[in-house]
């Protein structure tokens, strides 16, 4: 996931910024956002948490590694467009509920 984030940072720089946060440095957010996984991607727009419906039941974050760069770019673009329209919950461009079935 680190490789995907680093490789798309330049591509999405016009509408998104990637921040890496060590959850041991800010333990207050661990319980608030349920940060327990080794890798978690969350979206914020103007200091507001943006939820994304990925079909997995957890609308707060992505807690698995995405391997495809274009797939991650599509998700970020969708979140950005939805957040600009004032939506708190954005629908993902792909349903990830069947992630392990194919």
**What is the domain range of residue 50?**
2-101
pLDDT tens digits for 7-55? 999 999 999 999 988 888 888 888 888 888 888 899 999 999 999 998 8
How many domains does the chain fold into?
Answer: 1
pLDDT tens digits for 34-45? 888 888 899 999
Q: How far apart are CA 15 and CA 30, in angstroms?
A: 26
pTM: 0.85
CATH code for the domain of 37: 3.40.30.10
Q: How far apart are CA 44 and CA 49, in angstroms?
A: 4
Q: How far apart are CA 37 and CA 39, in angstroms?
A: 5
Q: How far apart are CA 9 and CA 1, in angstroms?
A: 12
pLDDT tens digits for 54-80? 888 888 899 888 889 999 999 999 999
Range list of H helices, the chain: 2-8, 28-32, 69-84
């Amino acid at each position: 996931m680190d490789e995907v984030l680093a490789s798309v940072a330049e591509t999405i720089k016009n509408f998104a910024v990637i921040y890496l946060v060590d959850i041991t440095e800010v333990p207050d957010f661990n319980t608030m956002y349920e940060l327990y996984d080794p890798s978690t991607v969350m979206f914020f727009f103007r200091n507001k948490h943006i939820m994304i419906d990925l079909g997995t039941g957890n609308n707060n974050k992505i807690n698995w590694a995405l391997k495809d760069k274009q797939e991650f770019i599509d998700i970020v673009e969708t979140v950005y467009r939805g957040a600009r329209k004032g939506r708190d919950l954005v629908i993902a461009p792909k349903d990830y509920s069947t992630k392990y079935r194919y």
